[in-house]
Amino acid sequence: MQEERNIAVGQLELIRDKILNSYLNIIEKSFQENHSQFKLINYGTGSGKTHQLFEAICQMIEKYPDIQTIGIYVAPLREHLSVPSQVKDKYQNIPVYTINSLEMKTTDKYILLYKKWIPLILKNTKLWKQASKVSFKDKVEEHKQKLKTAKDVISRLDYIKTIGLGNEEYNKSEITRAKRELNNALESFLEFYIKCELEKDNLSNECSELIKIFFPLYLLRDQSGILLLTYDKFETKIPYFIHNGKKWVKRNEHLDKYVDQNTNNSRKFILAFDEQEDGYQIMLKKKIDIISPEDMAINNALSSIYREFRLIFFNRNNSNRELLNFLDR
């Protein structure tokens, strides 16, 4: 019996090594030849393909320390957005961030953290003293007020959730409105914090934690790491910052275009789309009306080709642009 178990374990390890090598080979080829590579992976459930994907990304990050490597993992549901614990424990020096949707940024878990962090930031005299040195007084006061607004909105959210304002539909609309207001207030404050470069002096752990939630791309501006997001989020524009030589400027762009614009000899991206059959349905839901299974199949195929082709082929020449425009129609 033990011998049979050992054989089964050995076979499983061989399968997982084969999967790992299939990832490593295609990524390695891309790095060595300095151009995009594309591979469809079709391993069954339970094969360990997701585990080996993250293992491959981490191995490449460690193998090429002089290249900034960002692994991007796209999955259908927020429940899928995690790195296997064994991989995370093994590569503790590689940061992992999630690109959060509005709903994800305003879960009860995060609201509780904001309630704790915002008063601490408001009381942080060193932070506001430094802010006054690098920005105008009215701007400093304006962004203090943003935090106070966020604090008030959280109180309003608590009230709506516990007491209510009327019928269920009205409560839902008010909760959504409050979440957007909270998001906008915190984003505005963090944009100010980043533009003033206040994080350089490590003045606030709370602000650092907020940036992880709201602007994870900023934290990967000059280091390797892993980003996780849903297909829904992949279909929306992502906020990020660029430095124009004088100051940080906030931009918003779809992630595939961000990858296109920021790939170069010293910065590489590894993209993985998991559970594509579910993912493409999510990506298409706002673009098409599904009338028949045939229409759905055609649109799924075209969307698949379009999304992956635009990541593989830079749309900087006319023939590539013509193909991409045709597929997007």
Which of 212, 232, 249 lies at the terminal end of a domain, its last residue? 212
Examine the pLDDT at 109 and tell me if it is beyond 50: yes
One domain for residues 85 and 232: yes
Q: What is the pLDDT, as a whole number, of residue 297?
A: 58
Please indicate, yes or no, if residue 291 is contained in any of the structural domains: yes
Query: 299 pLDDT band (50/70/90 cuts)?
Result: low
Please indicate, yes or no, if residue 275 is contained in any of the structural domains: yes
Number of domains in the chain: 2
The segment with the largest mean pLDDT, out of 15-19, 77-81, 147-151, 305-309, is 147-151
CA-only gyration radius of the chain, Å? 23
CA distance 321 to 317: 6
Structure tokens at 9: 């374990």
CA 277 to chain centre: 20
User: Each residue of 211-251: pLDDT tens digit?
Assistant: 999 999 999 999 999 999 998 898 889 999 999 988 999 99
3-state DSSP call for residue 75?
strand
Contacts of 67 (CB under 8 A, 6+ apart): 31, 224, 266, 267, 268
DSSP 162-181: HT-SSSHHHHHHHHHHHHHH
- Segment 13-27 shows an average pLDDT of 84
- Segment 60-80 shows an average pLDDT of 92
Segments forming the whole domain that contains residue 124: 105-212
Which of the residue ranges 53-62, 158-167, 224-233, 319-328 would you say has the lowest mean pLDDT?
319-328
- The alpha helices in 215-312, defined as continuous H runs, are 216-219, 231-234, 255-262, 276-284, 293-312
Q: Are 80 and 234 in contact (CB under 8 A)?
A: no
DSSP 82-98: ---HHHHHHTTTS-EEE
User: Each residue of 133-188: pLDDT tens digit?
Assistant: 999 999 999 999 999 999 999 999 998 888 776 778 888 899 999 999 999 999 99
Which of 161, 180, 212 lies at the terminal end of a domain, its last residue? 212
3-state DSSP call for residue 15?
helix
One domain for residues 109 and 165: yes
